[in-house]
Amino acid sequence: MTSPDCILETRGLEKRFGGVVAIASVDFRLKQRELRCLIGPNGAGKSTFFKMLTAQLKPTTGQILFDGVDITRAQPHQVSRLGIGIKNQVPDVFNNLTVAENISVAARSRHGKARAAAKGKDVMERLGLTALTGRLVGELAHGQRQWVELAMVVALEPKLILLDEPAAGMTADETNKTAELIREVNKSAAIVVVEHDMQFIKQIAQTVTVFHQGRVLIEDTMDKVQGNELVREVYLGKSEDD
Ligand X SMILES: Nc1ncnc2c1ncn2[C@@H]1O[C@H](COP(=O)(O)OP(=O)(O)OP(=O)(O)O)[C@@H](O)[C@H]1O
Instruction: Point out which residues bind ligand X (CB under 6 A).
Output: 17, 20, 22, 40, 42-48
CB 35 within 8 A of CB 204: yes
Q: How far apart are CA 192 and CA 34, in angstroms?
A: 8
Shortest separation between residue 211's beta carbon and ligand X, angstroms:
6
First to last CA, the chain: 47
Q: Are 218 and 38 in contact (CB under 8 A)?
A: no
- Nearer Cβ to ligand X (68/237): 237
Toward ligand X, which CB reaches closer, 20 or 172? 20
Rounded Cα–Cα distance for residues 12 and 27 (Å):
6
Cα(159)–Cα(186) distance, rounded to whole angstroms? 10
Give the residue with the Cβ less far from ligand X, 14 or 180. Answer: 14
**Mode of pairing for the β-strands spanning 215-221 and 207-212:** antiparallel
**Comparison of 106 and 163: residue with beta carbon closer to ligand X:** 163
Shortest spacing between CB 47 and ligand X, in angstroms: 3
CB of 49 to ligand X, least distance (A): 7
Please report how close the Cβ of residue 84 comes to ligand X at its closest, in angstroms: 18
36 Cβ contact partners less than 8 Å away, ≥ 6 residues apart: 30, 190, 191, 192, 193, 206, 207, 208, 209
| Residue 3 vs 42, nearer CB to ligand X | 42
- For the bound state, the minimum distance from the C-beta of residue 225 to ligand X, rounded and expressed in Å, comes to 16
